[in-house]
Amino acid sequence: MGWAVNKNDDTAIAASQTEALSRYFARAVQVGTAFAKFVATIAVTFLGLAALTFFIGRVVPIDPVLAMVGDRASNEVYEAAKIEMGLDRPIPLQFVSYIWDVLNGNFGLSISTRQPVIEDLIRVFPATLEMATLGIIIGIVIGVPMGVTAAAHRGSWLDQVIRTVGLLGYSIPAFWLGLVGLAIFYARLRWTGGPGRIDVFFDGMIPPVTGMLLIDTLIAGEIDVFWNAVSHLVLPATILGFFSLAYIARMTRSFMLDQLSQEYVTTARVKGVPEFFVIWRHAFKPIRIQLITVISLSYAGLLEGSVMIETIFSWPGIGNYLTTALLNADMNAVLGSTLVIGAVFIFINKFSDVMYRILDPRARS
Amino acid sequence: MSNLLDIDNLTVTFPTNNGPIDVVKGISLSLGRERLGIVGESGSGKSMTGRAILKLIRSPGRVKADRLSFDGIDLLTRRERDMRAIRGARISMVMQDPKFSLNPVMSVGDQIAEAIKTHQRLSPSQVRAKTLAMLKSVRIEDPERVLGLYPHEVSGGMGQRIMIAMMLVPEPDLLIADEPTSALDVSVQAQVLDIIDNLVTSKGMGLILISHDLNLVASYCDRILVMRAGEIVEECAANKLHAAQHPYTKGLLASMPRIDEDREWLPVFERTSGSQT
């Protein structure tokens, strides 16, 4: 503000203060709008998801009333139940009241467990969350360095070994690995716990807070139970981790090969930068955003619940729950689980969007 | 007087499906603290020569030479690990297009600072001061602002000046400029070359300017090598270019349009015979 110099000092200061203030205000409005947009897109996506699951639920040739009252009920009982369940009303109206119920945390009753679906979900989802999270951590911590190493030593024996491991991860069936794992590490060696989340002896000892046993046992201060839960979790989580590791390592390798042929990697070498930094600073940094997409998708896939692994390890997770619900025509449970899984996908997508902006300067502004 | 760079019988080979191909065929050259221009068309081996000097030809490419010595150091027997002390610090290279040769996710300041920190132990404030001074010397007026920018936020000319700053900040003895202005607008080409020329001359460095532009090389270099198909076909002083002997050089010169002439067609090379025009 060159002109301000000629004026009275006070006016100049006041003017610059007003300007600074209005700039802060403009920035606040900007951030506020961005946040409102963010919330609005989530809300719209969620509404779309709810509509989709609701209408699919109405289209499938399953009669929820019949499933409720049984096929020997009289017509009067059937009609009464139908009215009680609100199914006599027009479908748009049913949808509105369904959304209202969902917003109030009411997903209806499950036919198979005879409990509110929301309570079932609060029980089963953390079990899957715990296993999937540990699995994806194993996948990232081992898979990413494996992929980078393979790319950096392209064509060497190390690369061959890593690619073979990746191929195994793709082609070995989950149930086979689960059974063999149980046979060796549980039945023979006794290194890990068996099926289930915890020994029967400890069942019901831990008050559920988060629903994740590793955390709840620590909150309760029960170290023995904690280690018992770990011993049960380690095998299924490692197997899940192995599958995501195979995928992550393979993708990392191909992203890195692409990066290592870029001009700016040569620039780094010209500068005399040590090879370790050439790889991790110059080649790896730009692929982080691509990796986040890969990892997010694979994590979301794990959170959907691996039915095979959950069945073999008698894991009371959402994959198991959803499968049972489907087989029993338990529509409330199916819709509830679908909504939860959909919400997981929406959340993870939004999370990776945010990470994009943090990690890539080109995505900002 | 000992030379800065001595190359004897340098060959660069790449395997292909049809057997190995020599992209550089036994060239020899020596360089003092002077400005040498290498000109040639695409695929003549001029860039590969530049990269071979820095030992940047990666497998499956092979480099062979009877002698490749820089300031008395035998580069041929140097291991990768020892080459790092030479790259950047003693020999540096400015590459063609700043859009691709600057790292897109590192700020300009970080990239220049890395070039300093790789070779010198300095405090953060010293590094910063040096970076700012270097940016000033490539005629960037507001270096503080530029430090925090990312490569996609700067223009091509600015990007190339940043590249030059980054490559010259460790004060090397030899700069290889590999088509430094080919990706730039004509209006900023002279500006960038002037900056290179000034810095190189004032610091008494050696310069190898690789280009396909004869006029440009003639006006910025002392000596010119003309390369074709991996061989040096002509060597002359820059001001004697008009007196070039080799038919290929003459052909190149003849194919350049001039503003004061009135030719309908520019001559082109007859390549069908495979022999030199």
Beta-bridged to residue B36, according to DSSP, are B208, B223
Over the stretch B229-272, which tens digit does the pLDDT of each residue have? 889 988 888 888 777 778 888 877 877 777 787 777 777 776 65
* Distance in Å, alpha carbon of A259 to nearest chain B alpha carbon: 11
Pairwise CB contact (< 8 Å): B56 & A269? yes
Q: Say if residue B191's pLDDT is above 50.
A: yes
Contact check, Cβ <8 Å, A264/B114: no
ipTM: 0.87
Closest partner CB to B104 (pick from A274, A281, A362): A362
Nearest to A263 among B95, B107, B166 (CB): B95
The mean per-residue pLDDT over the stretch B109-125 comes to 93
The pTM for the full model equals 0.81
Helix, strand, or coil here: A196?
coil
Contacting residues of A for B93, CB less than 8 Å apart: 270
Provide the token pair at B252: 């190149």
Mutate which of A264, A266, A292 to disrupt the B interface (most B C-beta within 10 Å)?
A: A264
pLDDT of residue B277: 39
**Average pLDDT, integer, range B117-134:** 93
Name the burial class of residue A84, with classes exposed (0-12), middle (13-18) and buried (19+) by CB atoms within 10 angstroms of its CB: exposed
Share of chain B above pLDDT 90, in %: 51
Residues from A in contact with B at Cβ < 8 Å: 262-264, 266-275, 281-282, 285-286, 359-362
> In this complex, do A272 and B89 lie within 8 Å of one another by their Cβ atoms?
yes
Give how far A362 is from chain B: nearest CA, Å. Answer: 7
For residue B86, which residues of chain A lie inside 8 Å, CB to CB? 272
The tens-digit pLDDT sequence of chain A (365 residues) is 444 445 566 776 777 778 888 888 888 888 888 889 888 988 898 889 888 888 887 777 777 777 777 778 888 888 888 888 777 888 888 888 888 888 888 888 888 888 899 999 999 999 999 999 999 999 999 999 999 999 999 989 999 999 999 899 888 888 899 999 999 998 888 888 888 888 877 877 778 888 888 888 888 888 888 998 899 999 999 999 999 999 999 999 999 999 999 999 999 999 999 999 999 999 999 999 999 999 999 999 898 878 888 988 989 899 999 998 888 878 888 888 988 888 888 889 888 988 888 888 888 76
> A286–B105: do the CB atoms touch at under 8 Å?
yes
Gap between the Cα atoms of A335 and B274, Å rounded: 74
Radius of gyration of chain A (CA): 27
* Chain A interface test: which of B105, B116, B131, B169 (most A C-beta within 10 Å): B105
Distance of residue B238 Cα from the nearest chain A Cα, in angstroms: 28
Distance from CA of B64 to the nearest CA of A (A): 20
What is the residue-wise DSSP string for A224-261? Answer: HHHHHHHHHHHHHHHHHHHHHHHHHHHHHHHHHHHHHT
Q: Using one digit for the tens of pLDDT, what is the confidence trace for B61-79?
A: 899 999 999 998 899 888 8
By C-alpha distance, the chain B residue nearest A361 is B105
B48, B179 Cβ separation under 8 angstroms: no
Do the chains contact at B167 and A271, CB–CB below 8 Å?
A: yes
Residue carrying structure tokens 């994009």: A356
Can you give the pLDDT at residue A125? 92
- Distant-in-sequence, close-in-space partners of A207: CB < 8 Å, separation ≥ 6: A216, A220
